[in-house]
Chain A
């Protein structure tokens, strides 16, 4: 089902062909042991403690060494990792995890429930969004060395999705307890339970990890070594993959304009799987404090005026799918189009809406001026802004582009609210309370906090639905809350969703089993990855 769904999403048929070929390759064969897998990466993580910092690039490195309680397969179903079994009480107030018994930390000490209890404290007080995720966990019990019970003040159904190695990695208590977390040597040389052990890190160049011979999953991992090479230049990353010096890169490691050439290379295979956990959506956030954007009809007109199909095909080379709402279709648990207003490309209707709202064309053919600040995340965002400028120009809106580097952008949009509109992206995450509540909930608005409600949008009905869903233990009612949320979001449009983004993992044909979880290379531990025989 998952594969079928993703296949349909592809617009460029050339991409489709190369993907289908690739998938057949990693379903068969007996795992070969040994070898080194070289991963191209950028940016280089500043340190290696994902329990504190949920930056994706950091997790790509750390999750091979540090593990979470669960992993989530390609269908987003939880699978055992450090926890063998788990159970939620019917009232949703107690979460019990039975831990694996034969697990050792890389330094030889036993992994126990005390480590999990300690880690919860770290997630709750130090993780960038952990305070929010674990807000309702009031206490933790460890009845024996291999059982952990989280006690909650209210139900928190979103917890079902947060126990991955990426989101909540378990840290060793005996190493970190009583120390300054980030000053601890283990923050740069991790001690974990994972299939690979930290070996060395040459800053600015590479990081090496080695096979953990005492890994709890006997006979695994297959690889002897995993090497990360930090290559700043996108064209150089492409060259490393083409020459066979490196075998894999994730999070769209090369410019989209190079993808046609690279997928034509018989040694390389691209996939867009393994990003459903992040569920990234390209969107325009609009500052509803500013006139005339404060007028809902104006925002609706903008939504009608942008051709999402053309945007996907031209700017994003087909690596995406026009969005129908704030939740992308890959988040199957919550996605709906039922009763959700749609905005098919219709410039005439857009002009009519603007006329009606009183923003008629002036003598120069222009209605009003609007600034747009593309997210400084690569050429595609700037081109998206140029595309929007061109499209809105046709209905008489004069768009002015402004660009700045990442820190300036964060300051301008999220601290000073000194913007009209910004094409950017947001991860919807498996649960809307994690990914979307932060941009639609009026109380999420916090001056100076990046990537939360910056639009100034505040709607009591929206707040009510979001707040009810947070603690709603009845799955049906919770679904209805989020269906209402999607309908309201697409009526009020403080944020105009443009496209479900498809990030790319580009790998050598020999690399097998690299994408087996919903968080792909970001969350998987590489225990089952192997290099098939033959080829360059």
Chain B
């Protein structure tokens, strides 16, 4: 058994240490990949200005360090990483870390909320469907889930906006807070919550389908195990079997999925953040691509890699907790 605090700590420490070379590889790959994209930040800034002089562009390139050879830019970047400096976003005129820290909370809130909702509601629906397998409830859940899965995120988002913001006027069309309202305390929390409803539901609906289907299949599989038959033979109630014996074991694939989806969600949040003008990291990344803001994009990708790696370590720890037979070492 994987009991004891020490082996677990050692395990985490080793995983963290192992992730350093992975992160370095990611950083180098990102840099090369982004360098392959045609056009640079100076092209964009000069292009957006509508007209510019060659001196202006030369000035920009020198300022951004784009006049140096690519290998030197890469070396500078790696060197800066080792001193934990993510660099400066010339486009936004601010340090990259500051930009990311400003925008990260909004995305984390959206992500954590959407994942929890999708996970919990998906699990509940999956359990329900598996208990009523091949009835109309099961069919209804499957069809609805698939419908949401197949509908593009932005369409759901815009649909919600049209119904709840434009026609009914119940919810704001977008943003994180009421602009300039200056709420404090619970009022501020309520304000954010009201703004969060539609983006959260939109993002969660998409992932809900996956969890519902996965949970249903997983539950059905576990129901066929011998020990469930044993439990039935002992005369336990179906509800008790479902919750105590089946659910916990059926959770494993769900947790795996959760870990994998942290990465996907960061991508999915771009669309939701755009539709609901949510000031998060997804849109910042998208804008960084469009403006070839190299430092910023590298910074965001790196931080996201850190989040994904951390999420995977947590998932591995969760395995051990859910199924004591799994050892971490």
Q: Is B279's CB under 8 angstroms from A407's CB?
A: no
Contact of A450 among B47, B103, B166 (CB under 8 A): B47
Stretch at the interface among B204-212, B226-234, B280-288: B280-288
Are A406 and B44 interface neighbours, CB within 8 A?
yes
A273 to chain B, nearest CB (A): 20
Q: Is A408 an interface residue (CB 8 A)?
A: yes
CB A279 to nearest CB in B, in angstroms, measures 12
Cβ-closest chain B residue relative to A129: B51
Closest to B52 in A: A128
Interface size on B, as a range, is: 35 or more
A53 touches B45 (CB 8 A): yes
Fill in one digit per residue for A400-426: 1 if any B CB lies within 8 Å of its CB, else 0.
000011111111101100000000000
B283 touches A128 (CB 8 A): no
> Does A452 lie at the interface of the complex (its beta carbon under 8 Å from any beta carbon of B)?
yes
B180 contact from A188, A227, A448, Cβ within 8 A: A227
Cα distance, A427 to B54, chains bound together (Å): 19
- Given contacts A47-B92, A132-B53, A451-B50, whether A243 and B169 have CB atoms under 8 Å apart is yes
List of B residues within 8 angstroms of A36 by Cβ = 180
Complexed CA–CA distance, A407 and B66 (Å): 14
Stretch at the interface among B141-149, B253-261, B270-278: B270-278
Contact B92 A203 (CB under 8 A): yes
Instruction: Identify B275's interface contact among A236, A243, A410, CB under 8 A.
Output: A236
Interface string of A101-138 (1 = CB under 8 A from B): 00000000000000000000000001111011000000
CB distance from A223 to the nearest CB of B (A): 13
Nearest B residue to A416 via CB reads B38
- The reply on A260 being an interface residue by CB < 8 A is no
- Residue B43 lies at the interface, judged by CB distance under 8 Å to chain A: yes
Residues A225 and B48 in contact in the complex (CB < 8 Å), given A128-B53, A204-B279, A408-B38: no
Contact of A204 among B40, B50, B162, B283 (CB under 8 A): B283
Q: Does the CB pair A245–B180 fall under 8 Å? A: no
Q: How far is the CA of A452 from the CA of B180 in the complex (A)?
A: 42
Interface: A446 (CB within 8 A)? yes
- B38, A230: Cβ atoms closer than 8 Å: no
Question: Once the chains are docked, how many angstroms separate the CA of A127 from the CA of B59?
Answer: 11
**Within 8 Å CB of B99, what residues of A?**
203
1/0 contact string of A191-217 vs chain B (CB within 8 Å): 000000001001111101000000000
Which A residues touch B173, using CB under 8 A? 236, 239-240, 243, 245
Partner of A129, one of B48, B52, B289, B292: B52
> Is there contact, CB below 8 Å, between A236 and B276?
yes
Other-chain residue from B45, B55, B158, B180 in contact with A225 (beta carbon distance below 8 A) = B180
Q: B47 contacts A410, CB within 8 Å?
A: yes
Interface contact B92-A243, CB-CB below 8 Å: no
Cβ contact within 8 Å between A407 and B158: no
What are 14 A-B pairs at a CB distance below 8 A?
A46-B93, A47-B92, A128-B56, A129-B49, A129-B53, A132-B53, A235-B161, A236-B274, A236-B277, A245-B172, A407-B44, A407-B290, A408-B39, A438-B51
Residues of B within 8 A of A153 (CB): none
Q: Which residues of A contact B102 (CB under 8 A)?
A: 203-204
Q: By DSSP majority rule, is chain A's interface helix, strand, loop, or mixed?
A: mixed
Q: How far is the CB of A162 from chain B (nearest CB, A)?
A: 12
Closest Cβ of chain B to A417, distance in Å, is 14
Residues from chain B with Cβ under 8 Å of A407 in the complex: 37-40, 43-44, 47, 290-292
Q: In the complex, what residues of B have CB within 8 A of residue A235's CB?
A: 158, 161, 275
A182 interface residue (CB < 8 Å to B): yes
Q: Which A-chain residue is minimally distant from B276 (CB atoms)?
A: A236
B175 at the interface (CB under 8 A from A): yes
Q: How far is the CB of A247 from chain B (nearest CB, A)?
A: 12
A38-B179 CB under 8 A given contacts A242-B166, A407-B40:
yes
CB distance from A433 to the nearest CB of B (A): 12
**With contact pairs A204-B280, A239-B161 given, residues A128 and B51 touching in the complex (Cβ less than 8 Å):** yes
Tell me how far the C-beta of A121 lies from the nearest C-beta in chain B, rounded to whole angstroms. Answer: 15
A355 at the interface (CB under 8 A from B): no
Q: With an 8 A cutoff between CB atoms, is A54 at the interface?
A: yes
Query: How close is A191's CB to chain B, nearest CB, in angstroms?
Result: 16
Q: A46-B93, A236-B174 are in contact. Are A406 and B39 (CB under 8 A)?
A: yes
Distance between B214 CB and nearest chain A CB, rounded to angstroms: 31
A342 at interface, CB cutoff 8 A = no
Given contacts A406-B44, A410-B44, contact A227 B179 (CB under 8 A): yes
Q: Is the CB of A233 within 8 A of B275?
A: yes
- Report if A187-B169 is in contact (Cβ < 8 Å); known contacts: A205-B277, A451-B47: no
Tell me if A32 counts as interface (CB < 8 A to partner B).
no
Interface size on A, residues (CB 8 A): 61
Q: Is A43 an interface residue (CB 8 A)?
A: yes
B179 touches A206 (CB 8 A): yes
B93–A427 touching, CB < 8 Å: no
Chain A CB within 8 A of B46 CB: yes
- How long is the Cα–Cα vector from A182 to B52 in the complex, in angstroms? 17
A236 to B161, Cβ gap below 8 A? yes
Given A205-B277, A407-B37, the answer on whether A449 and B49 have CB atoms closer than 8 Å is no
B279 to A43, Cβ gap below 8 A? no
Evaluate contact between B46 and A449: CB separation under 8 angstroms.
Answer: yes
Query: What chain B residues lie within 8 Å of A203 (beta carbons)?
Result: 92, 99, 102-103, 279
Digitize B150-168: 1 where CB-to-A-CB distance is under 8 Å, 0 elsewhere.
0000100010011001100
A46 touches B92 (CB 8 A): yes
- Asked, given contacts A239-B173, A415-B43, A449-B57, whether A55 binds B48 with beta carbons under 8 Å apart, the answer is yes
Quote the shortest CB–CB distance from B171 to chain A (angstroms).
10
Decide yes or no: A231 and B92 within 8 Å by CB, A203-B99, A208-B179 being known contacts. Answer: no
Closest A residue to B43 by CB, please name it: A410
Chain B proximity mask over A361-396: 1 for CB below 8 Å, otherwise 0: 000000000000000000000000000000000000
How many angstroms from the CA of A63 to the CA of B256 in the assembled complex?
53
Chain A residue nearest to B281 in the complex (CB): A204
Q: A205-B277, A231-B277, A407-B40 are in contact. Are A182 and B47 (CB under 8 A)?
A: no
Contact with A along B111-125 (1 / 0, CB 8 A): 000000000000000
- A233-B271 Cα distance, complex, nearest whole Å: 9
The CA of A225 and the CA of B181, in the complex, are separated in Å by 12
Query: Is B311 interfacial (CB-CB < 8 Å)?
Result: no
Closest 8 CB pairs of A and B: A407-B39, A204-B279, A128-B49, A205-B279, A450-B47, A411-B39, A128-B52, A408-B38
Residues of B within 8 A of A227 (CB): 179-180
Bound together, the chains give a CA A182 to CA B92 distance in angstroms of 10
Contact A206-B175, Cβ < 8 Å, known A405-B290, A450-B43: yes
Does residue B310 face the partner (Cβ distance < 8 Å to A)?
no
With A236-B277, A243-B173 already in contact, the answer to whether A131 and B44 are too (CB < 8 A) is: no
Which of A43, A410, A452 is B39 in contact with, Cβ under 8 Å?
A: A410
Assess A427 versus B44: contact at CB under 8 Å? Given A203-B103, A204-B283, A205-B277: no
B56 contacts A131, CB within 8 Å? yes
Interface centre among B55, B92, B173, B275 (most CB of A within 10 A): B173
Contact residues in B for A38 (Cβ distance below 8 Å)? 179
| Of A56, A408, A448, the contact of B50 (CB 8 Å cutoff) | A56
